[in-house]
Amino acid sequence: EAQVTQNPRYLITVTGKKLTVTCSQNMNHEYMSWYRQDPGLGLRQIYYSMNVEVTDKGDVPEGYKVSRKEKRNFPLILESPSPNQTSLYFCASSPGTGVIWNTEAFFGQGTRLTVV
Amino acid sequence: SQKIEQNSEALNIQEGKTATLTCNYTNYSPAYLQWYRQDPGRGPVFLLLIRENEKEKRKERLKVTFDTTLKQSLFHITASQPADSATYLCALAGNKLTFGGGTRVLVKP
């Protein structure tokens, strides 16, 4: 089954403790992206990657890091989480190159992160 | 700056009626516009894509229009069913995918 898999689904952590949220897709997509979703603010892009070893900042990259060493994986790293990073996070992938979004995006099931 | 507006108020509609959602945008010239459905706590699911040179697109009970002069897209759910209750997101596609805040639809039996 074609899917984007995120782990974990739920995570509660303390301020400053490094964490990684994994994302994997089995559709051989080139484009992958991370979003956060907050009430009243909608989905906002954090980082995106057009291909292996190519990553770029989205609209809200501060406090996050990503890497794209393999085509299928795109982990999101919070080096020193803070309470304002409490949010619902989604990973997405697309067969498009990302230059023009003429194809659908496939989203993971989400990771609900709470930083206390 | 680019702005995408969807009605933040929930749309309550009776089963069998047509739900119409609006997506307005400013300072943007998207080549494509997409609509997604999102259920609580779950990831958005793609529904329809419409190109800038298309006026209308249909898929089963869904219809989307795209007016680049008005900078507006309308999303219609005909013969609505309680299972259509969800939040619907529009997304503008240029060099990236930018989402509106979504409109929650509640279909009552």
CB-based contacts of A3: which residues, under 8 Å, 6+ apart?
Answer: A25, A26, A27, A106, A108
Residues of A in contact with B31 (CB under 8 A): 100-102
The shortest C-alpha distance from A100 to chain B (Å) reads 5
pLDDT tens for B52-97 read: 889 899 999 999 999 989 999 999 999 999 999 999 999 987 767 8
Q: Which residue of A has its CA nearest to B32?
A: A102
Interface check A98 vs B, CB under 8 A: yes
A58 vs B: CB within 8 A? yes
Rounded to a whole number of angstroms, the distance between the first and last alpha carbons of chain B is 41
B43 with A42: Cβ contact below 8 A: no
Q: Is there a contact between A88 and B46 if contact means CB atoms under 8 Å apart?
A: no
What is the structure's pLDDT at B28?
80
Gap from B50 CA to chain A (nearest CA, Å) = 9
Whether A39 and chain B come into contact, CB under 8 Å, resolves to no
What is the rounded distance in angstroms from the CA atom of residue A57 to the CA atom of residue A49?
9
The answer to whether B1 faces chain A, any CB pair under 8 Å, is: no
pLDDT at A42 over 90: no
Residue A111's closest CA among A4, A5, A7? A7
Residues of B in contact with A42 (CB under 8 A): 89, 99-102
Higher pLDDT, A99 or A35: A35
Write down the mean pLDDT value for chain A.
Answer: 93
Residue in chain B nearest A49 by alpha carbon: B96
Contact yes or no for B75/B61 (Cβ under 8 A)? no
User: What is the reported pLDDT for A21?
Assistant: 98
Pseudo-torsion of CA B97, B100, B102, B103, nearest 10°?
A: -130
User: How does pLDDT run across A59-90, given as a tens digit for each residue?
Assistant: 999 999 999 999 999 999 999 999 999 999 99
What is residue B30's three-state secondary structure?
coil
Residue A101, pLDDT score: 66
Contact B42 A99 (CB under 8 A): no
Is some CB atom of chain A closer than 8 A to the CB atom of B96? yes
- Upper half-sphere CA count for residue A67 (Cβ side, 13 Å): 8
